[in-house]
């Protein structure tokens, strides 16, 4: 097997790395009943028609994650797989509201994830950042509450905020206040936009939320003026090809817009999104596109250019 190119992963939901076997083991340990008898039965349910059909299963399966240990093991398992696929730096999303809503405390989630991330450089050769995402289909007031509750971890463990969940019909603007507070607290800012939603949402996350990177952003191509702006301002887009096909944002890999995005001069990166659910980790996403070596190296370099790393660390990767 060829050695995977060293790269950064910038669009990865840690809850989306929950493999069927791990979910069943976790369920048994915590006495959580799941309506799936085996890992194969669970895998068979991983067939989606759109983002909403995926999110239903993604949130339901989180029921098995209850203890600090569960979150540590989840993150450690991801980091081990990521290291094997060439990841040297990972900026990891988590969804605090999805856990708080189930009665799991923020400290359980953060201390659990934090233990795995603290061990990652020595154990897996990976540096990390942790990005707290707000659910755009929940009230903005709830995002403000969780933001304030997470302050003790700002700057040490939590270094950025994001916006995810059901996009269509949930424009970014109501989250302007919480993103403003994040900027004032010195946190980095990213947001999902232009996955299923229109190019107008991509403009909105830039103009209203001050997003520094756009997660997905594939629908930007429908708006040439927006593309010109993204190119001019060097706004990175974290594209997830297998996710786009599995959620039917794109009909198949042959039709994936990534080559057109590169041709347009966009700062594109390739990432895995929710690898357990979408059939592959980051190198599988690179491989699925059938890229030549030069393009793979360009995408890997872009991943470090787009990472929230200090310049000396970035330079060491390039
Ligand atoms: N889009 C929006 N929300 C998400 C995703 C996604 O691809 N994955 C996990 N939450
Ligand atoms: Zn995502």
pLDDT of residue 121: 98
Q: Which residues are CB-contacts of 52 (< 8 A; sequence separation ≥ 6)?
A: 166
Q: What range defines the domain where residue 89 resides?
A: 7-307
Separation of 312 CA from ligand 1 center, angstroms? 31
Separation of 1 CA from ligand 1 center, angstroms? 31
pLDDT digits (tens, 9 = 90+) for 217-237: 999 999 999 999 999 999 999
Q: Find out whether 244 and 216 touch, Cβ atoms under 8 Å.
A: yes
Q: Is residue 317 part of a domain?
A: no
Give the ligand 1 atom nearest the CA of 133.
10
CA distance 50 to 245: 10
Q: Find out whether 272 and 282 touch, Cβ atoms under 8 Å.
A: yes
pLDDT of residue 100: 98
Q: Which residues are CB-contacts of 49 (< 8 A; sequence separation ≥ 6)?
A: 248
pLDDT of residue 2: 74
pLDDT digits (tens, 9 = 90+) for 25-82: 999 999 999 999 999 999 999 999 999 999 999 999 999 999 999 999 999 999 999 9
Report yes or no on whether pTM surpasses 0.95. Answer: yes
Enumerate the β-bridge partners of residue 221: none
pLDDT digits (tens, 9 = 90+) for 178-189: 999 999 999 999
Q: Nearest ligand to the C-alpha of residue 167? A: 1
Structure ipTM: 0.96
Element (H, E) at 91: strand 87-94
Which residues contribute to the annotated binding site for substrate?
274
Q: Which residue owns the Cα nearest ligand 1 atom 10?
A: 165
CA distance 318 to 313: 9
pLDDT of residue 1: 54
Closest to 70 in 3D by CA, of 135, 120, 124, 15: 15
pLDDT of residue 3: 87
- Can you give the CATH number for the domain in which 184 is found? 3.20.20.140
- Nearby residues for ligand 2 (ion, Cβ within 5 Å): 273
Mean pLDDT (whole number) for 254-261: 98
Give the ligand 1 atom nearest the CA of 243.
7
CA distance 148 to 146: 5
Domain count of the fold of the chain = 1
pLDDT of residue 180: 98
Q: Is residue 313 part of a domain?
A: no
Element (H, E) at 207: helix 199-207
Q: Is residue 59 part of a domain?
A: yes
- Counting residues of the chain whose pLDDT is more than 90, the rounded percentage is 99
Q: Is residue 49 part of a domain?
A: yes
pLDDT digits (tens, 9 = 90+) for 98-121: 999 999 999 999 999 999 999 999
Residues with CB under 6 A from ligand 1: 13, 16, 51, 58, 164-165, 192, 195, 243, 273-274
Q: Is residue 54 part of a domain?
A: yes
Element (H, E) at 192: strand 188-193
Q: Is residue 316 part of a domain?
A: no
Residue 271 has pLDDT above 90, yes or no: yes
CA distance 111 to 117: 10
Average confidence score pLDDT of the chain = 97
Q: Is residue 2 part of a domain?
A: no
Q: Find out whether 196 and 249 touch, Cβ atoms under 8 Å.
A: yes
CA distance 238 to 93: 13
Residue 87 has pLDDT above 60, yes or no: yes
Q: Which residues are catalytic?
A: 195
Q: Is residue 270 part of a domain?
A: yes
């Amino acid at each position: 097997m060829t050695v995977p190119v060293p790269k950064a992963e910038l669009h990865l939901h840690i809850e989306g790395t929950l493999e069927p076997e791990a979910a069943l083991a976790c369920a048994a340990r915590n006495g959580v009943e799941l309506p799936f008898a085996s890992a194969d039965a669970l895998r068979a349910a991983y067939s989606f028609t759109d983002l909403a059909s995926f999110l239903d299963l993604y949130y339901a399966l989180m029921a098995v994650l209850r203890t600090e240990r569960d979150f540590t093991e989840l993150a450690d398992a991801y980091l081990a797989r990521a290291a094997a696929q060439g990841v040297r730096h990972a900026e990891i999303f988590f969804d605090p509201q999805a856990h708080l809503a189930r009665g799991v405390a923020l400290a359980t989630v953060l201390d659990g994830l934090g233990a795995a991330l603290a061990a990652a450089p020595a154990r897996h050769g990976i540096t990390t950042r942790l990005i707290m995402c707000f659910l755009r289909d929940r009230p903005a007031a709830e995002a403000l509450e969780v933001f304030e509750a997470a302050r003790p971890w700002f700057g040490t463990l939590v270094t950025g905020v994001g916006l995810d969940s059901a996009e269509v019909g949930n424009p970014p603007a109501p989250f302007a206040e919480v993103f403003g507070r994040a900027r004032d607290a010195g946190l980095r800012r990213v947001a999902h936009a232009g996955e299923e939603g229109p190019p107008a949402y991509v403009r909105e996350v830039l103009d209203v939320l001050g997003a520094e990177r756009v997660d997905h952003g594939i629908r930007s191509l429908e708006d040439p003026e927006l593309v010109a702006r993204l190119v001019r301002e060097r706004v990175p887009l974290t594209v997830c090809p297998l996710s786009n096909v599995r959620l039917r944002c794109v009909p198949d890999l042959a039709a994936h817009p990534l080559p057109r995005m590169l041709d347009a001069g966009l700062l594109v990166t390739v990432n895995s999104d929710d690898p357990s659910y979408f059939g592959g980790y980051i190198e599988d996403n690179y491989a699925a596109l059938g890229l030549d070596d030069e393009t793979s190296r360009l995408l890997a370099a872009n991943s470090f250019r787009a990472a929230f790393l200090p310049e000396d660390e970035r330079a060491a990767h390039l």
